[in-house]
Structure 1
């Protein structure tokens, strides 16, 4: 794994922002509330705007997150991640090549990669990628173009093969936490379970507490 300042980042409650679901409070206010509730990573994902729009939103997020110690990851836009000096980048299988992304990001940044099947997990190079997002575990409306759900058994199988820490993603709720931890996941990525909730801080806190109290890794 690359040497970096944020090497010990915590994947347990990985918040993926959604501009539509966050419209009640804005992405920045949702992020502040989620961090107060215990979110350990925040990913900026907005496919409705270009790089300039992501940078504008990212600047507001960086201001809101200042001093929290929570890393800001940009989804699938290397130029925005570089312009923001974000803590990291997350790419999918059909996005930028992980090796190219690492070369341009440098060793000090976090690089995540989505994996959906055994071939993708086998191809993960732990000298390049810091963590993988495994899923979708269940179908989710927040990413309608996702691959077929792999289920909890599929998650456990891919987690067991991964050479790097894993975060589960795809339609996850508090009720799934025990199974996710039993399957070896280092954390869960959530969208609608926090974004768009009437009280994002409370919603996050419930998930964090449930994760902490569940048996497992």
Structure 2
């Protein structure tokens, strides 16, 4: 559709110009009429650069993949408050999560905990019989953004025309990504969306909206 994707290209800076935005990304200079801040666990520094600090907290999900099994799970399933979620892919492998990994000295990275992996599989095997003797073949962890109210920041910037925020999905980003993408496309194309997103505005974390008028940093 005419898009150019620059992989492994860190955005070093972004600034507002008379006509839009100027971005420094690796060795590339990019200009744009609109910018979407969807930088995940790194989105708070971009928001702060435009005078919109937020109490974003980094979390480190830990995931396990099993060997291929006969089909038994046709939906993505998770237990609210139960510390377990799972899905089975077409090849038969089951992807299971629910524990946190350990951040490394560089907080951009983490590594799975052995006790966390055992806890995940024990919980999963109690719920799903076919997992009781399944072999775990792969582990990984990542870095994601969590907001204090567990809701994302989604919508236009309150300080900078043309800047749109979309981050802090608190573990639910994959599930609602198609709808979020449609909303973002409408905001860029039309400047508005028919989807009610006021509850996700970044202004809910502004100093004036906090008890005592001060933003609580985490």
Rg (Cα) greater in structure: 2
Question: Which structure's residues are more often strand, by fraction?
Answer: 2
TM-score of the pair, normalised by structure 2:
0.22
TM-score of the pair, normalised by structure 1:
0.23
Bigger RCO of structures 1 and 2 (CA < 8 A, at least 6 apart): 1
